[in-house]
A = this chain, B = another copy of it.
């Protein structure tokens, strides 16, 4: 397969394929002469993966690069860590004391410098600053939902091949996020319709009751 065929097959413009090659997001093809190379199915798969990460998961090319690096992790644990770092960014200088305690209270065992913990602390702090503090009960509902999803994720990892397991873990972590968010929005839409439909706020009560 030559580069133009790779571009055509994937739907990615040729100039962009060349750009990805330059940026190291796509490995070089096998050289057949000084100025020629051929590409295989792995290149095509990688190219499709890069586009899925940029388009679907909305990652920057820098984050895509770090996700790709994560695919070379020797252990599943390290693979998860890589994917989380790629998604959460650097831990930064947030105070994770109280948030860490809340997480520990759930019986969860997480690393102290976990980027996800820092991201959670930042998000909660941000909500508080706007007067939208989440109660412990609300957080517990979120945590329970997150645990259920994570359990499904962990269960879905194939036990056969190690590299296949790592791939599933990393890509599942990244690419299922938009699925969860879209489902939350759909659930909100559906429940909002059932609870609030036909009720007008100017008429008095918005009408939110426990469901």
Contacts and interface: CB of A to CB of B under 8 A. Distances in A.
Interface of A: 45, 48-49, 52, 55-56, 74-77, 80-81, 84, 87-88, 103, 105-111, 114, 116-117, 119-120, 122-124, 126-127, 129-130, 132, 134-135, 138-159, 162, 165-166, 168-169, 171-173, 175-197, 199-202, 204-211
**Copy count, this protein chain:** 2
A132 B164 CA distance: 11
Contacts of A177: 181, 184
A103 B188 CA distance: 13
Given A48-B129, A208-B107, A184 B146 contact: yes
A203 to B, nearest CB: 9
Contacts of A156: 135, 138
A188 B156 CA distance: 12
Given A77-B196, A195-B154, A202-B74, A210 B171 contact: no
Contacts of A48: 129-130
A191 B126 contact: no
Q: Quick one: which of A173, A175, A180 has the most chain B CB within 10 A? A: A180
Given A130-B52, A154-B192, A154-B204, A210 B144 contact: yes
A127 B165 CA distance: 16
Q: Quick one: which of A81, A143, A162 has the most chain B CB within 10 A? A: A143
Contacts of A129: 48, 52
